[in-house]
Amino acid sequence: MKISLDGKVVVITGAGRGQGAAEARLFAEAGACVVVTDVRVEEGRAVAGSLGSQGLFVRHDVSAQESWTETVAVALAAYGRIDALVNNAALWRTA
């Protein structure tokens, strides 16, 4: 069964690579517009670019409130709505 997300807008944090990038591709394949966010600008832009007209990149540091405000403002200006958030961003440190 194929899921249709046509007309939906999804913000995915940490989508510049790995799991977040894979999620961005899956949402776009299902028809959603995807706001790809990451602190890794080049990687995030590449993922958003690979989604064609369905992708939009926003540099986003999830640890900063003002960065959330900016991300929401850009998404709303571009698409007029946000239907879902995939809060994928994480920090991984080993000691």
Q: Total domain count for the chain?
A: 1
- Residue 1 maps to a domain: no
CA pair distance 41, 58, nearest whole angstrom: 8
- Residue 64 maps to a domain: yes
- Residue 78 maps to a domain: yes
pLDDT in tens, the chain (95 residues): 688 999 999 999 999 999 999 999 999 999 999 999 999 999 999 999 999 999 999 999 999 999 999 999 999 999 999 999 999 998 777 77
Quick one: pLDDT at residue 90? 82
CA pair distance 95, 81, nearest whole angstrom: 41
- How far apart, in Å, are the Cα atoms of 67 and each of 42, 56, 71, 77? 18, 16, 6, 15
For position 13, which CATH number holds?
3.40.50.720
The whole domain housing 61 covers 9-86
- In sequence order, the 6+-apart residues with CB closer than 8 A to the CB of 32 are 5, 6, 8, 9, 10, 54, 83, 84
